[in-house]
A and B are shown apart, each in its own frame.
Chain A
Amino acid sequence: MNSSVRTDVAAGKKEENMEETKEEILKVEGVSKTFRLGKKQQRIERTKEKYKRAVDDLSFTAYRGEIFGLLGPNGAGKTTTLRMLATLIKPDKGDALVDGISVVNQPDAVRARIGFLTSELKLEDFFTPNYLFDFFARLHNVDPAVANERKELLFKRFGIDNFAEVKIANLSTGMKQKTSIVISLVHDPDIIIFDEPTNGLDVLTARTVTDFLMELRDEGKSIILSTHIFSLVERLCDRVGIIIDGQLTHCDTLAAVCDGMTLEDRFFEIYKEKKGGEE
């Protein structure tokens, strides 16, 4: 065993001990989700199967004040998992507890505690960032004075202040994404669930977003994010879960999962193990 591996193992053990003291903020317990495939989808996926198990008995835990990354290729089930956590869809089996609240039994209460962002959620082109922030603040029962203060802060942080009265339709892709992020955080949630938050963004905007996520972690927020970008995981995540074909193959600290390798190399190793050499 070389010295660097020994260091990683030691770091892993230290983090293991820390996990015991950390507060569980999200506990996913054996969730599964199966979708019925239409004929068109069957053609696209070149299968005759009528059902596809998108998420298969997935379990993991995320702790308060950490960034937890779900890493996996396209179609692995990352977005489906996050959509279940955000209560947009219901698991066929299993449950997830967000701050102790069940996504199956108390979806309204879960939604009040999370900030969720995915490319599926669009903002109405007709309205301005200013209007939409106020609108979602009202739906989240945020006091108007607090909402105004928060709006000023977030708009300035993301450079939206100069575009506050421009209709969403006339904003650039990056500015739209930043507006979506800001609006998802309108109620200052403790748990933030972001699906591919830097997708389609230029490097500057992507950097703004990742820096902001680290700031939020430093403030004690818990962040769950899904991505297929290795560098993003390496830069941001404290712990990572690798998901392939709807199943969680590894879930640990970044150091423990990498096991002395780069994340990219380790991921492909895991991928090959899982797929058994099939492409």
Chain B
Amino acid sequence: MSRKNNVWTIVRKEYARFFGDRAMVFTAVLMPGLIIYCIYALMGNNMEKNYLPDETTPTVVFVNNMPTQMAPLFDSLPYQLVQCNFNPMDIIHDSLPDKHCSMVYLSFPSHFDSLVEHYDPQSGETAPNIQIYYNSASPNSQAAYETLASVLNAWETTLCNRFDINAGNDVHYDVADDDEMLGNLLGQLIPMLLLMLLFSGCMAVAPTSIAGEKERGTIATLLVTPMRRSELATGKILSLSTFALLSGLSSFLGIILSLPRMLHADEMDMPTLGYNVVDYAALLFIILSTVLVMVSAISLISAFAKSVKTATTMVTPLMVIIMFIGMLPMMAGETTDNLALYLLPFYNSVEAMSGIFSFETSLLHVFVTVVANLAYTTLAIFGLTKMFGSEKVMFGK
């Protein structure tokens, strides 16, 4: 039988083992995405409930001593203005401390107009003070405070306006592209996120398949067949990479689908990202080759372990290293142009992905990254082959 066919036989067996086990498919592929989606969506709902104003409940602004000519300032606001003709302490001490309240208390000093007109900023005296009592634990009260403060600040600016900076909303003074700004942010965050998700995917399948087979004694049954050790190593790494990719993809989809809910993107002015086909293709190649390297590294470590539990423990330092590498773009700020650094495993993937998300895709960087990752995978297959052939590693007590 040809080498390719033996590899395919192993891959088919691993597929049958993985996809035939509903619990494993659910745990390794569906659950990560589902859990991420549910947690992020719940977080979003929780944030909405606890930190965003409830628009169905009107916010009451109790007003005291407000000059009549200022009333138009608040006309367009969605608040119910109520003149306070009772003791404000009743509101400040009784109603407002309730975190479910939907109110603020806005108090102007008596003769506010006159005080403002005669106030000289050069005099060193205390300026007339408008008091806004609010409850920051209540989203409605907090939001009303911010709006009122903003309106009053804007009004104050108009009183002595000598010049403006960047006046008018119709001119884009910030020449940075919206995509570019978001791209920079994503370039720092997503590579780390992706790396961690892919790593969790690899962790879910590789130790079970390598150390698990040793622990269960089934690897020896494979080792007495005429199949070459290299065929077993290649078959294992290829099949495990597929499972890890599916697991990573599930987590990725979980994030992508839940992010709008978490960030309430429908309420925000999110720019549409302008990645092109080349960017997506480059990203795909990087992800595929990274998964191969990860599976290879975890498989090598797992081959040393006598049980799945030991393998999981032994892989932990690698996870910490990968997490650290994932955070490097945040520390560096921009992607490196040093081609030699694209030969370093994991770091090369992070940098190359960071470049893609920041709209600075360098095909040379991507090419070097993918080739380096494939070279590392080949080396790992060679190493795993040696380990499958080592009686000390396979049968050591």
- Chain A contacts to B: CB under 8 angstroms: 38, 41, 86-90, 108-109, 111-112, 114, 116, 120-127, 131, 135-136, 138-141, 183
List 4 A-B pairs, minimum CB-CB distance, nearest first: A122-B217, A112-B226, A141-B1, A89-B391
B395 touches A (CB below 8 Å): yes
Q: Mark B234-270, 1 if CB is under 8 A from A, else 0.
A: 0000000000000000000000000000000000000
Is A86 within 8 A of B224, CB to CB? yes
CA A136 – CA B226 in complex, angstroms?
10
Which B residues lie within 8 Å of A121 (CB)? 217, 220-221, 224
A88-B391, A131-B16 known; A123+B224 contact, CB < 8 A:
no
B341 nearest CB across to chain A (Å): 41
A87, B226: Cα distance in complex, Å: 10
B186-223 CB mask vs A (1 if < 8 Å, else 0) is 00000000000000000000000000000011101111
Q: Is B98 interfacial (CB 8 A cutoff)? A: no
Q: Mark B324-367, 1 if CB is under 8 A from A, else 0.
A: 00000000000000000000000000000000000000000000
B21 within 8 A of A: yes
Chain A residues lying within 8 Å of B309, measured Cβ to Cβ, are none
B217 & A111 in contact (Cβ 8 Å cutoff): no
Q: With a CB–CB cut-off of 8 A, which chain A residues contact B9?
A: 135, 138-139
Which of B218, B221, B223, B228 lies at the interface centre, i.e. has the most chain A CB atoms within 10 A of its CB? B221
Q: Mark B1-18, 1 if CB is under 8 A from A, else 0.
A: 100011001000100110
Give Cα A172 to B293, complex, Å: 41
Which B residues are in CB contact (< 8 Å) with A126? 17, 20-21
User: Per a CB cutoff under 8 Å, which of A124, A136, A141 touches B17?
Assistant: A124
| A98 to B194 alpha-carbon distance, docked (Å) | 52
> Nearest A residue to B391 by beta-carbon distance?
A89
Is B182 among interface residues, defined by CB-CB distance under 8 A? Answer: no
Listed by A's residue number, 16 A-B pairs whose Cβ atoms lie within 8 Å are A88-B220, A88-B223, A88-B391, A88-B395, A90-B391, A108-B228, A112-B226, A114-B224, A120-B395, A121-B220, A121-B221, A121-B224, A122-B217, A131-B16, A139-B225, A139-B226
Chain B residues whose CB sits within 8 angstroms of the CB of A114 once the complex forms: 224
